[in-house]
Amino acid sequence: MAKILIAEDERDIRELVAFSLRFLGKYDVTEAANGVEAVERATAEHPDLILMDVRMPRMTGYEACKKLKENDETKDIPVIFLSAKGQDKEIRQGINAGAEEYILKPFESEDLLSRVRQALERSKASQ
């Protein structure tokens, strides 16, 4: 069962994404409410994938992603950003921070689940 970390400061969104993933019965989901928590949980739990909001308290998603990519233990964990900020500048910043994808809010659950599945397959194939 793949382990997914959801880092999102808005509880309703975090819980909706977690529910959608758990409902499938294929994913073990853990949650973080800010960037600092995300880095701590990723380092301790080594998830297979991280879904991360861009704008979070204590540490932005960009900063958290950079920190994870600088750490040998977490650098290979794929990160997908979830954000309402969809300007080219923000998307480039997310990719430059190390994310492999950038999904705009609001998103369809089916699209999110499909992209999660694809990211996990790519990650598994590269190992």
What is the tens place of the pLDDT at every residue in 73-90?
999 999 999 998 878 899
Q: Which residues contact 74 (CB under 8 A, 6 or more apart)?
A: 42, 43, 46, 68
- Paired with 105 in beta bridges are none
What is the tens place of the pLDDT at every residue in 22-62?
998 999 999 999 999 999 999 999 999 999 999 999 999 99
Which CATH number is 18's domain given? Answer: 3.40.50.2300
Q: Is the pTM of this model over 0.75?
A: yes
Q: In angstroms, rounded to a whole number, what is the distance separating the alpha carbons of residues 54 and 90?
A: 9
What pLDDT, on a 0 to 100 scale, did the predictor assign at position 87? 85
Q: Which residues contact 15 (CB under 8 A, 6 or more apart)?
A: none
Task: Give me the domain span that covers residue 74.
Answer: 2-126
Evaluate if residue 125 carries a pLDDT over 90.
Answer: no
Instruction: Please report, rounded to a whole number, the percentage of residues in the chain having pLDDT higher than 90.
Output: 87
The model's confidence at residue 124, banded by pLDDT at 50, 70 and 90, is confident
Q: In angstroms, rounded to a whole number, what is the distance separating the alpha carbons of residues 91 and 127?
A: 26
Domain count, the chain: 1
| C-alpha pair distances (Å), 80 with each of 52, 95, 105 | 6, 9, 12
